[in-house]
Copies of this chain bind each other. A is one copy, B any other.
């Protein structure tokens, strides 16, 4: 763990170095404490597919980076689905035979089955049992249970607490409602020099859990603030906050045609708060720009990581990679769902995650976005034989502003570039073949543009217009 924290620090340094080398400002980096403070405000909100808890969550995230709010009315048909009614929770608790109020949703929003229908009545301990959810194998954990599409009410509690419930009569109050309201979605679009987009998507429908899922929205939001602070963006960056599944589907019904034309690469960000190695899950087409960029950064950083193929049983990449869209969208994880025992329980809480690890995730995401942003495709305007680099001042001379660069490496990288810049290969491709750092190649390529030797090759197939 110490080792990984160290690696994360290395990554952070790499991002800074890159920014410095590119002669760009360092991004507006958040502290772990700032993330934690935001986490603490978001934690108690009663999130679900819909409702005020979600709106309040988006309000708080919107303080960090401005968000464009979209309210999709209940009943709206989105492709094969219909937006559900909005869920309203006023209060919900039991009163035990001793008159003690227990499992109060006001204490923990996990106690109430998500989307529970209203109920008011008195039940025996035995009658009540069919409405209780606990985990015998994890006797201290309160499970996270939803019932979005089947009308049902119920309470979640630890097995230990359940076993201790006395016999007798229980008073039940589930004061909820399902109203014609709306489903809340937010987006932030940071425009760049080109219409090509990087899509970052995360979800805000999970109540009080930490890794799955406050880590994703926090990472996405602070990443957005960093990128908003870049001096210049070649690409456009789009951040999407939706309830899982139905939200992504609704967003695609609103923006799908635009995304098909413009998304160059995208990532679903979820479960990124554990101090564990990264997991990169490929996009459906498994060798898209999204995959190449993320893997380039992971490999260059030498951080331990795992790569796995796309599979359609995960999160919202299922929607983005559905056959009608099949977008180049992968997924970054750091403690994947179902691979840690606290998943979908009350034990997935602040103690489990690391705010330093979360910053490391943001570093990695920013480095990946940097890689995408510099990954232009260049065409040499002197392609016949090697260009005369000396007369153009493109051979590094001792001293000067790049005196701290390794001259031999720069010369080699320059020769690779002028050989490979045929207007078809992007810099990631050249970096992979040559083994040269992407940032160095980008720096030289930009200098070649400045000196009239290269032009940027516009790939119409990627940068379509609406």
Residues of A within 8 A of B (CB): 78-81, 149, 245, 248-249, 252-253, 256, 284, 309, 311-313, 318-319, 321-326, 380, 382-388, 390-391, 412, 415-416, 418-422, 433-434
CB < 8 Å neighbour of A385 from B324, B383, B416: B324
A-B CB proximity, top 8 nearest: A324-B383, A312-B419, A324-B384, A249-B385, A323-B422, A323-B383, A80-B388, A79-B384
**Known contacts A313-B412, A412-B313; is-contact A419 B385 (Cβ 8 Å):** no
Say whether A319 contacts B386, CB under 8 Å: yes
Distance in angstroms between the alpha carbons of A444 and B153 in the assembled complex: 32
Check if B388 sits within 8 Å of A81, measured CB to CB: yes
How far apart are the CA atoms of A323 and B78 in the complex, in Å? 49
Residues of B within 8 A of A422 (CB): 323, 326
With A312-B418, A312-B419, A412-B313: A386-B323 Cβ-Cβ less than 8 Å: no
Whether the Cβ atoms of B325 and A419 lie closer than 8 Å is: no
A149's closest neighbor in chain B, by CB? B390
Q: Measured between alpha carbons, how far is A80 from B419 in the docked complex, in Å? A: 14
Chain B neighbourhood of A434, CB < 8 A: 311
Contacts of A81 in B (CB 8 A): 385, 388
Would you call A323 and B80 a contact (CB within 8 A)? no
**Assembled-state Cα–Cα distance A273/B145 (Å):** 58
Residues of B within 8 A of A325 (CB): 384-385
Contacts A284-B419, A385-B79 given; indicate if A323 touches B249 (C-beta within 8 A): no
Known: A80-B388, A312-B416, A313-B412. 13 other contacts (CB 8 A): A81-B385, A81-B388, A245-B386, A249-B385, A256-B384, A284-B419, A313-B415, A319-B385, A321-B419, A322-B386, A323-B380, A323-B383, A325-B384
Contact of B149 with A419 in the complex, beta carbons under 8 Å: no
Q: How far is the CA of A313 from the CA of B413 in the complex (A)?
A: 9
For the complex, give the distance between the alpha carbons of A438 and B386 in Å.
37
CA distance in complex: A179, B324 (Å): 66
- A387: shortest Cβ distance to chain B, in Å? 5
Task: Give the chain B neighbours of A421 by CB distance below 8 A.
Answer: 323
Complex A-B: 11 CB contacts under 8 Å? A80-B386, A80-B387, A252-B384, A256-B384, A312-B415, A313-B415, A318-B415, A319-B386, A323-B383, A324-B380, A324-B385
B-side contacts of A412, CB under 8 Å: 313
A322 touches B249 (CB 8 A): no
User: Closest residue to A318 on the B side, CB-wise?
Assistant: B386
Residues in chain B near residue A383, CB distance under 8 A: 322-324
